A = this chain, B = another copy of it.
């Protein structure tokens, strides 16, 4: 299990290959990558991601341990960036490995749902007009009810 909270960019392909190579006995590997999207009306200059250093690693580790146990994962990876990101840059990724596909998919979705609403990150959209904190969506909070 690897959890990285970092300012640096990461290479999705290299991370996916390293993760898959390190797993024994898995039949299914799922990755999710979140990418900075431009605004619907365009004009996004950057996404600034703030986090709570003392709490972030701890909160993600708790979520990751729950996922590992609940779905019997072979392995799991979480990378989450903070700082200033340009449109098109990868914000974060998770990877899960399990014997069968249902467990790998479900665990990845569970991790994403919890990272969205329970890991201490806050996003701010920077445009020429200034900065706007991204509001949490009711749908993201509601997504936790599945689990």
Which positions in A face B, CB cutoff 8 Å? 11-17, 20, 25-38, 90, 99, 101-102, 104-105, 108-109, 112, 143
Copies in the complex: 2
* A13→B90 CA distance, assembly (Å): 15
Contact assessment for B38 and A25 in the assembled complex, using a CB-CB cutoff below 8 Å = yes
* A34→B37 CA distance, assembly (Å): 29
Give the residues in chain B near A34, CB-CB below 8 Å. 27-28, 101
Give the residues in chain B near A37, CB-CB below 8 Å. 25-27, 99
A-B contact pairs, 24 of them (CB 8 A): A11-B17, A12-B16, A12-B20, A12-B29, A13-B14, A13-B15, A13-B17, A16-B31, A20-B33, A25-B37, A25-B38, A26-B35, A26-B37, A27-B37, A28-B35, A29-B32, A30-B30, A30-B31, A32-B104, A34-B101, A101-B109, A101-B112, A105-B108, A105-B109
